[in-house]
Amino acid sequence: MMQRSALPNGLRIVSEHMPGVPSVTVGIWVESGSRFESPHLGGISHYLEHLLFKGTARRSAAVIAEEIDAVGGVLNAFTGKEYTCYYARVLAEHASLATDLLADLFLHSQFDPAEIDRERGVILQEISQSEDTPDDHIHDFFNLRYWPGHALGLPVCGTSATVQGLGRDEFLRFMATRYRPDRIIIAAAGDITHAALTAWAERDFGSLVGTADLATGAPPRPHAGIYITEKPLEQVHICFGSPGVSQASEERYAAYLLNTALGGGMSSRLFQEIRERRGHAYAVYSFLSSYRDSGYFGIYVGTSPEWVEEVLSVIVRELAVAAREGLRPNELARVKNQLKGNLLLGLETSDSRMSRIAKNEVYVGRDVPLAEIAARIDATTNDEIVAFASRLTDPEGRAVALLGDLGGRSIDPSLLAA
């Protein structure tokens, strides 16, 4: 059962007790990510995430690593466009160590200038690695061109230029501005009680003060087009996108089901047509990039240069078929079961449960019980799927990014027409 409470300073606490599970995962979530960065601070949220592991007044970076390793636990963090999470997963008997470590690094990190400079090199290597991994880099490339000039279009890691310009003062100011109690959620799942979690939050975080604005400006406006970057690669990496749904949209269940049917597994339409029948790709999938007020429906394929136009034609054709007909009755029943099965199987661990309840708090402000999700999936009609798919056929909202060796040739824009 999920429980929720809040401290007088606005900090929220959510937990799910999982009897019989040997682990506990505790996370500190901050409603702050790359969307809240000005252009010259690009990547500061991600950089800050790295720095919180580099030493406190009580522990060096090495001691932090040694303490969590000594109990076989995991201490990590991740940064997204709209949130950052610091978390620890340990056996339940070591929960007090996990919470002590998290509070120490979150509240008492030193930001040693030497560590800042050292970690700068690590992050620059991370950026370079992404650029050298085309099936990852194509997504950043697409975002930059689909949502130009908007913070949601910028890479979470920033750029080499912005990372080079960040120093200790910028980190301290950003943290003082964004890491305020009304933007912090403490989430836990596993063998831990809500009372114990709340007592820890009150003791270590109850004295935090201040507020942070959650206003994120207008949602991004999609820019249709075909965007090509020539690079000497064996494959051409394709990212195709159309306007999608926000995290809390009423259309999200239709979007989930269409995504599953089109590119959500080996039985999906695009996988079967592009890989199995034509042999034109190894990797092909669809996905939803959804945020607080916007999102897009995306499709990725890695293929040979000579098959690019054919693959794009297949994508456009399958979207048009979905917009006209939706899903066949047996297909709709199958993807509903697939989606429910994927959801439940993905929630077998304490860390996945912790993430689920925290994201619900971030985006909808309440727990969304699994039974409610299953019921909404089951209740989604084919007409709703057709309505959502119809939005994906508007050429004015479509874009495709191509990364690879096209030999200088262009792609006929009429290929994107429904």
Q: Are 10 and 347 in contact (CB under 8 A)?
A: no
Q: Is there a catalytic annotation at residue 318?
A: no
Q: How far is CA 264 from CA 53, 173, 261, 346, in A?
A: 36, 42, 6, 14
Q: How far apart are CA 93 and CA 97, in angstroms?
A: 9
Q: How far apart are CA 49 and CA 37, in angstroms?
A: 14
Residue 225: both structure tokens together: 């087009």
Q: How far apart are CA 346 and CA 340, in angstroms?
A: 10
User: Half-sphere exposure (CA, 13 Å, Cβ side) for 261?
Assistant: 27
**Other C-beta atoms within 10 Å of 414: how many?**
8
CA proximity to 61, closest of 104, 25, 26: 104
Choosing from 16, 49, 115, 273, the catalytic residue is 49
Which stretches of 233-382 are assigned E, i.e. beta strand? 236-243, 284-290, 295-303
Sign of CA dihedral 192, 198, 201, 203: negative
CA proximity to 82, closest of 357, 247, 288, 292: 292
The partner residues of 286 in beta bridges, in order of sequence, read 299
Please give the positions annotated as active site. Answer: 49
